[in-house]
Amino acid sequence: MVEGLRAHDGPGPAYEHVAAEHEAYARALEQAGVSLDILEPLEDFPDSIFVEDPALVFSEGAILLNPGAASRVGEGEHLLPVVEKHFETVMRIDHGHADGGDVMVTPDLVMIGLSARTSEAGARSLANLLEQLGHTAQIVQPPRGALHLKTAATLIDEETILTTAEGRSSGLFSRFRQIVVDPGEEAAANALRINDSLLLSANAPRTADRLDSLGYRLALLDTTHINRIDAGLSCMSLRWKAAVLG
C-alpha cells in the first residue's frame, strides 16, 4: 500500500498509520449501522485498499470498471467472485477506462467525471450500463485540479453538496445547496454519508464546526496518511442497501 500511486512529491504514508486509520474507518462504518465484509489484502496491487475505484454497486446490481492507472488493471477480476456473492446482476464496462472515484450518485442522476483515470469511452460505456440498471447518467468535467470527481465533492444529504471553492465555481452543483470547505481543508470535501452519520476528516476542524452547527451528526476520522496517497473516506469501501437474493 505504501508503494501506491501518488500525484505529489510530499511525504509518503507510513504503513502502521494507514493501518490504524483503516481500522478506525471500519469501526466507524459499523457504528453507523453497516455490516462489513473485509477482504484479504492483494499484495500485487498496492492501491487495492481503494475498492471503490474498480467497481460500482447498487441495490439493483454491480458494475465492474476498468481503472485508468495501468498498475490497477486486474483489480476488478479479484473483486468479481466477491461481488457475485452479493449480486445477481454483475456487468462490466467494455470500452475505455473508468474509476469509481469519478462517479457521484445523486437522487435523480449519476454524474460521471472525465479525468486522467476516466476516459470518455469508459464514461459512455458506464453510462449505458447505468441506464440498464435504471439510472440516468450525466458525463461531466470535474472541478479544476481534482484527481476524481469525488475528490472535490460529496453529497451529504438529498439536497446538499459539500465541495471545494473550485467545485462551487465550476457550476456542476448549482442545483444543490452547497457548503464549501474552509481554505486549507480541501481534502475534507471527500466525506462519506452513511445512514444518518457523516464521516469527515478530523483534519478539517473549521469545516467540522460549521457542519456540526448545521445539525449534521459527524464521525471525525484521522485521514493524515490516507490523504498522502491521494485518497479519502469514500475510496475504501463499496456500499449499498442489500437486497434479498432469490
Are 70 and 28 a contacting pair, CB within 8 Å?
no
Is 86 an active-site residue? Answer: no
Is 148 an active-site residue? Answer: yes
Catalytic residue among 17, 86, 95, 148: 148
> Degrees (nearest 5) of the Cα angle 100, 171, 216?
65
Specify which residues 157 forms β-bridges with. 160
Instruction: Report the alpha-carbon distance of residue 235 to residue 51 in Å, rounded.
Output: 6
Are 58 and 88 a contacting pair, CB within 8 Å?
no
Catalytic residue among 78, 95, 225, 235: 235
Catalytic positions, written as ranges: 148, 235
